[in-house]
Every structure is written in C-alpha cells, then in structure tokens.
C-alpha cells in the first residue's frame, strides 16, 4: 500500500469511528468538527467524500432529513423519526411499525427494503410546545 492510500484508509477509519460513536445521526458538518480534532488540515470536502465511500461500502447509511444528509452507523433495518422541534433523529425498531406491502405486491412491485421516515414532536419536546 502506498503512502497516500494508507493515509486515506486511516482517515476513513477515523471518520467511521466518529459516526459510530454517536446515535445522533450526525451531519457531515458535525463529523467534520470532530475529525478536525484528530486529523490536522482535513477539509470538509474530504470528510464528505469519505462519508460517501462509507455509504457505498455499506458501512453506514445516509438519510436525508428533508434539509441535509445525515449519517448512521447502525445499518440494521430500522426506521427514523425526526422531531420538528429539536431536529433530533430517533431510531425506531423495525418491529414497532408494521407496513402493509401487500397492495404493492399485488400490483407487481417487489419490495426489498423499507425505510420509513416519520416526523413529529418527540416525547421530550412534547411538554415544551403548546
């Protein structure tokens, strides 16, 4: 492995560890702030590119919250809930939601994956609104 390649691999490993260390579904900006503490002179572009590679490799998933891309190291099947008040993204276990795909199957669609993205107000913000 040449020097540049090794450096890229190390950077990607650090970026992956940062995403893995949290369950807040961070944005690229958030990951960049943490990465800067560990890798001198890293740019936001480099962080973004590495996140995209990790998505392609299937190590992390990318979710769009309607405004920005957010990243998740939890690649097991699960759904998401976004709080409109605090912008937190919560993981929802797959078994907590049932989706009836039968009508789609009847129309000839083959469903291989389901990602459900819900929006509303989370329990901790519920008391604050109204």
- Least CB distance from residue 49 to Zn ion, whole Å? 22
- Least CB distance from residue 41 to Zn ion, whole Å? 31
Binding of Zn ion by 85 (CB under 5 A)? yes
- Least CB distance from residue 82 to Zn ion, whole Å? 9
The smaller minimum CB distance to Zn ion, of residues 17 and 37, is found at 17
Would you say 16 and 59 are in contact if contact means Cβ atoms under 8 Å apart? yes
The rounded distance, in Å, linking the Cα atoms of 6 and 51 is 17
What mask of x and - would describe binding to Zn ion in positions 13 to 32, judged by CB under 5 A? Answer: --------------------
Among 24, 42, 55, 122, binds Zn ion (CB under 5 A): 122
The b-or-e profile of 55-77 (16+ CB within 10 A means b, else e) is: eeeeebbebeeeeeebbbbeeee
Beta bridge partners of 91: 80
Q: Where are the beta strands (DSSP E) in the chain?
A: 61-64, 69-72, 78-83, 89-93, 117-120
Binding of Zn ion by 92 (CB under 5 A)? no
Which residues bind to Zn ion, rule: CB under 5 A? 72, 74, 83, 85-86, 91, 122, 125
């Amino acid at each position: 492995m040449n020097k540049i390649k090794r450096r890229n691999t190390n950077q990607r490993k650090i970026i992956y560890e940062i995403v893995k260390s949290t369950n807040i579904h961070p944005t690229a900006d958030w990951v960049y702030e943490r990465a800067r503490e560990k890798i001198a002179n890293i740019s936001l572009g480099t962080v973004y590119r590495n996140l995209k590679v990790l998505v392609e490799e299937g190590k992390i998933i990318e979710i769009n919250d309607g405004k920005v891309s957010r990243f998740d190291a939890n690649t097991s099947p699960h759904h998401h809930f976004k709080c409109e008040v605090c912008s937190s993204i919560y993981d929802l276990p797959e078994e907590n939601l049932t989706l009836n795909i039968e009508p789609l199957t009847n129309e000839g669609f083959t469903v291989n994956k389901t990602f459900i993205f819900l929006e509303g107000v989370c329990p901790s913000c519920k008391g604050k609104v109204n």
